[in-house]
């Protein structure tokens, strides 16, 4: 009996050790029916390859955004094309403006030399040279509205002389001379030379663009308003005004009335005529001195 008990005791201890070792080591999976063992599983969790419904579906761009992108691309292409065309046009205009300026300068010099030669020829023949009738005059308002007749006020508005020391160019004809006779006590006028016309337009010149008073800072302003008449730069405008060309009316209407300063030293006597040592009336060529004082 003692031997059997010892054997059982030994077997029980061996079985306990086997069981303890089985708890410490990972248990192998049970064999399959075929007898082969399955491979050991991955120690960590398997990555999930499943995608959500939002990720699986392709991204949808709103139709309004697509239209906006298309519109922006079309606008950028049109703008680039417009800038390229403007650059080419400006380059051509620059060359044309330079040639016209040279042509006008040669024309002015030729007229001056011709005038000198005619005066010399008349002097050699014992006569005197009579200058042609002037075609251009410049009118300046020198008095306010006190004691002004309604008809005179209406003529002042027609002449665009609404404020004191306003000035405008006018063509010399019968109608303008008759109007100036009615408003002669309130204005002074005369015949400007090329220098006066150029200084007035360059220094005090403003144009009427879209019914607004716009400074003449760029030739594009003149081209936009008068390009259809062949006037594309400020030298064209000066030439058209000084020579009283075929489009003098359009060019003169484009020019805003000049706002001049009070003359240096003041006026002598506004209520008297110029021939009576006053300021009103026709000064003829002496008007250029007054323009220098007021410009």
- 1 pLDDT band, cuts 50/70/90, is very low
Q: pLDDT value at position 287?
A: 94
Tell me: pLDDT of 206 over 60: yes
Structure confidence by residue, pLDDT tens digits, 156-186: 999 999 999 999 999 999 999 999 999 999 9
**pLDDT at 32 exceeding the cut of 70:** no
Is the distance from CB of 233 to CB of 219 less than 8 angstroms? yes
Please check whether residue 248 is in contact with residue 255, taking contact to mean a CB–CB distance below 8 angstroms. Answer: no
Alpha carbon separation from 180 to 85, 119, 141, 221, 253 (Å, rounded):
48, 31, 11, 32, 18
- 136-294 fold: Ribosomal Protein L30; Chain: A, (3.30.1390)
CA distances for 279 relative to 151, 165, 268, 269, angstroms = 22, 13, 6, 6
Q: 211-263 pLDDT, tens per residue?
A: 999 999 999 999 999 999 999 999 999 999 999 999 999 999 999 999 999 99
How do 187-190 and 281-284 pair as beta strands?
parallel
Res 12: pLDDT: 65
Burial 267-290 (b: 16+ CB within 10 A, else e): eeebeeebeeebbbbbbeeebbeb
Q: For 33-79, what is each residue's pLDDT tens digit? A: 555 555 555 555 555 555 555 555 567 888 898 899 999 999 999 99
Q: Calculate the dihedral angle through the C-alpha atoms of 47, 48, 54, 58, rounding to the nearest 10 degrees.
A: 70
Per domain, the residue ranges of the chain are 136-294
Are 205 and 221 within 8 A, CB to CB?
no
The number of helix segments (H) and strand segments (E) in the chain equals: 10, 7
């Amino acid at each position: 009996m003692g031997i059997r008990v010892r054997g059982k005791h030994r077997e029980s201890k061996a079985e306990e050790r086997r069981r303890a070792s089985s708890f410490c080591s990972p248990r192998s999976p049970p064999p399959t029916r075929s007898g082969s063992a399955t491979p050991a599983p991955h120690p960590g969790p398997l990555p999930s390859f499943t995608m959500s419904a939002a990720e699986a579906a392709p991204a949808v761009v709103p139709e309004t955004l697509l239209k906006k992108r298309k519109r922006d691309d079309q606008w950028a292409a049109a703008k680039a094309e417009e800038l390229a065309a403007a650059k080419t046009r400006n380059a051509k205009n620059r060359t044309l403006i330079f040639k016209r300026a040279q042509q006008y300068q040669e024309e002015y010099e030729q007229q001056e030399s011709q005038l000198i030669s005619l005066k010399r020829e008349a002097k050699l023949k014992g006569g005197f040279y009579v200058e042609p009738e002037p075609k251009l005059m410049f009118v300046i308002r020198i008095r306010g509205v006190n004691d002004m007749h309604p008809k005179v006020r209406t003529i002042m508005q027609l002449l665009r002389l609404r404020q004191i020391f306003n000035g405008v160019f006018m063509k010399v004809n019968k109608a303008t001379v008759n109007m100036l006779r009615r408003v002669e006590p309130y204005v002074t006028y005369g015949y400007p030379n090329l220098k006066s016309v150029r200084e007035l337009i360059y220094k005090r010149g403003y144009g009427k663009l879209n019914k607004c008073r716009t400074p003449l800072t760029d030739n594009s302003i003149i081209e936009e308003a008068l390009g259809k008449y062949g006037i594309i730069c400020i030298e064209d405008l000066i030439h058209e005004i000084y020579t009283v060309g075929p489009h003098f009316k359009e060019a003169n209407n484009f020019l805003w009335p000049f706002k001049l300063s009070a003359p240096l030293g003041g006026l002598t006597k506004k209520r008297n005529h110029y021939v009576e040592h006053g300021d009103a009336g026709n000064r003829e060529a002496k008007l250029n001195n007054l323009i220098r004082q007021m410009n």
